[in-house]
Chain A
Amino acid sequence: MELHPNALCFGSELPASGAPCLVRFGGQGLTVTFASESSAGWSEEVPFTALSVSVGGLDHDQLVLKWNGDRGERALYLKDADLIRSFRRSAPEQLHVPFEQAAELARLARRRRRMVWGVVAGVVLVLSAGLWWGGDLLVALAVERIPPEWEQKLGESAYRDFLAHQDIIKEGPAVSAVQEMTRRLVEQIPNNPYRFEVSVVKSDVVNAFALPGGYVVVFTGLLRQAASAEEVAGVLGHELSHVLQRHGLERIVKRLGLVVAASIVFGDQQGLVGLMKRFGVELMTLKFGREQETEADRTGLHLLYRAKIDPSGMIRFFERLSEKDEGRMEWLSTHPMSHGRAERLKTELAAMPRLSPVPFTFEWAAVRESVGAPLSAEP
């Protein structure tokens, strides 16, 4: 007789994947007929009173009937819809309640799953819409949730990695000058969460950069090319503003994508540091956006003003930048130049009350000389 199994039976002496069997429901109980070779044709009758009812399987879509038989504990897994209907028809009243409870559980699981997918679809939709209209808002929200300590960790590891391959100037006029400028600027930052650290690196590159968390690098190239200390201070003011405004972080989050931004907003953020470390190298070449540049210019100007450092140095530096001294002004590659940058700052400065600057304690000519600039030549 060819048997068409419609269920799987589990028990201690049966195969772990379940023994295929034919289940039929009668007035008093069920009959299980085994199909597997070892126990082919062998039948077992179980009264309804011995059965317990539950749901099982990965998707909670199987009806599980358990009983304690002569051969120990048995479990039947049924998923055939007709068979389940037949069970419902023939099962006595006392099994209806557990059956309905089991069915309700299965329905709930299905509904919950559909709901989760619905929510996911909704979130994806909202996110795509958000990306379209308010991606920046989401990025800002995400950045806001990243604690400064992590930013510091990230910036520090990139900073140390970078410095490991550089010729650092440890002391001398250039170092103390840059430190003095930084100190005067940092003093003016209210509720400063960062511990700024500055290094002077020997290089012809006319640039300076600040990593997230407050790690600043100034290249000797910039010191050689700057006509006054105020110009360098202007660049520092701008760089510190990038840090304070967390522009680097914004760029990273943007680069990592919306999914990560969303996970930071909605989920926990611990894995982010590790993820960002992989992007650590890119921090150095991180290009800021035009809006970020404008913002850093503006706040940098105000910072200089509050520190009583003549902001016209910054303006002068920008003017010289826009004179298109290509190739030498690497600063442009990480800080895209937009038109009228110097003009905008001039207007901004003109609207502020007149400032009587407090000079630096160092001699600029000596600083420049210490980094190898020609004695009197105008850069």
Chain B
Amino acid sequence: MRSEILYPGAFPMVRVELAAGEQLKAESGAMVGASPTIDVESKMEGGFLGALSRKLLTGEKFFFQTLRASRGPGEVLLAPTVLGEIVVLELDGVNEYMVQKDGFLAGAETVTIESKMQSFTRGLMGGEGFFILKIGGKGTLILNSFGAIHRIDLKPDQEYIVDNSHMVAWSATTSYTIERASSGWVASFTSGEGFVCRFRGPGVVYIQSRNPGGFGAWIRQFIPVSE
């Protein structure tokens, strides 16, 4: 499997070349185009219940799609729904990433995806819901962000504070605690704002340069309201 990011920036697309027989898991709806040798199957990772719980609990808009090069080698083009960057990670079998529910775009067959229940406070305050994806295994993992993706490297015990709505993915070796950025948690709880995550290394943290909720609020002011 080889991947290449086309048109890097706000409107990227990723091209993945698959050898005969190779397959790729992708967020359903992410496929833009594919060679005629590629077959698309909707496969439910983790069985029906797994997929259902992922859908219900993480609010994901998808069951995964499997793109398989069943009739010879070929390529697929994938793009995220929102405007923003794409990043390709090579998982080595030891590194694991926690990925916020909208951050996953695609992954090799050998990449494992698991919905994980977070601790209650993180789930409630973290802004990424009670369930996040734990992605491990070996092979290519493709993530997408809203806006540009920025990588923060943390040495052991090094700390960094990130607004919770900007989190995309972080290595499982990092830990984080939720802190209140302002008072009034009922408002925060309904708007998903006002909390920050204090990350502690070692590991890497990927953040997005735009806040989806904030963007939504900004857009909303231009939408005429009917009485």
Partner of A56, one of B154, B173, B189: B173
Q: Is the interface of B mostly helix, strand, loop or mixed?
A: mixed
State whether A56 and B175 are in contact (beta carbons under 8 Å apart), knowing that A116-B119, A117-B120, A271-B189 are contacts in the complex.
yes
B117 touches A117 (CB 8 A): yes
- B170: chain A residues at CB < 8 Å are 58
- A260: chain B residues at CB < 8 Å are 186
A16 touches B186 (CB 8 A): no
A16 touches B119 (CB 8 A): no
Interface residues of A in 45-73 (CB under 8 A from B): 56-60, 62, 66, 73
State whether A58 and B175 are in contact (beta carbons under 8 Å apart), knowing that A66-B156, A275-B187 are contacts in the complex.
yes
Q: How large is the interface on B (under 10, 10 to 19, 20 to 34, 35 or more residues)?
A: 20 to 34
State whether A267 and B204 are in contact (beta carbons under 8 Å apart), knowing that A57-B173, A117-B120 are contacts in the complex.
no
A250 to B183 CA separation, bound complex (whole angstroms): 24
Name the residue of chain A whose CB is nearest to the CB of B156.
Answer: A75
Decide if B174 is an interface residue (CB 8 Å cutoff): yes
A278 to chain B, nearest CB (A): 9
A275 to B176 CA separation, bound complex (whole angstroms): 29
Partner of B171, one of A4, A17, A270: A17
Interface residues of B in 151-199 (CB under 8 A from A): 153-156, 170-176, 183-190
Q: Which of B20-28, B92-100, B213-221 contacts A (4 or more CB under 8 A)?
A: B92-100
A267 touches B186 (CB 8 A): yes
- B201: chain A residues at CB < 8 Å are 10, 16
- B93: chain A residues at CB < 8 Å are 4-5, 20
Decide if B84 is an interface residue (CB 8 Å cutoff): no
A357 to B81 CA separation, bound complex (whole angstroms): 72
Name the residue of chain B whose CB is nearest to the CB of A278.
Answer: B190
A128 to B172 CA separation, bound complex (whole angstroms): 35
Partner of A271, one of B92, B153, B176, B185: B185
Decide if A18 is an interface residue (CB 8 Å cutoff): yes
- B185: chain A residues at CB < 8 Å are 263, 267-268, 270-271
Decide if A272 is an interface residue (CB 8 Å cutoff): yes
B156 touches A16 (CB 8 A): no
Decide if B139 is an interface residue (CB 8 Å cutoff): no
A270 touches B153 (CB 8 A): no
- B94: chain A residues at CB < 8 Å are 5-8, 18, 20
- A16: chain B residues at CB < 8 Å are 153-155, 201-204
A73 to B190 CA separation, bound complex (whole angstroms): 43
- A117: chain B residues at CB < 8 Å are 117, 120
Counting chain A CB atoms within 10 Å of each CB, which of B153, B184, B202 scores highest?
Answer: B202
A263 to B125 CA separation, bound complex (whole angstroms): 14
A270 to B187 CA separation, bound complex (whole angstroms): 8
Counting chain A CB atoms within 10 Å of each CB, which of B98, B117, B154, B187 scores highest?
Answer: B187
Interface residues of A (CB under 8 A from B): 4-8, 10, 12, 16-18, 20, 35, 56-60, 62, 66, 73, 75, 77, 79, 113, 116-117, 120, 260, 263-264, 267-272, 274-275
Provide 7 A-B residue pairs closer than 8 Å at the C-beta atoms, listed in order of the A residue.
Answer: A16-B153, A18-B95, A57-B172, A57-B173, A113-B119, A116-B120, A272-B186
Given A113-B119, A270-B184, A271-B184, 16 extra CB contacts under 8 A: A5-B94, A10-B155, A16-B204, A56-B175, A58-B98, A58-B172, A58-B175, A73-B156, A117-B120, A260-B186, A268-B185, A268-B186, A270-B183, A270-B186, A270-B187, A271-B188
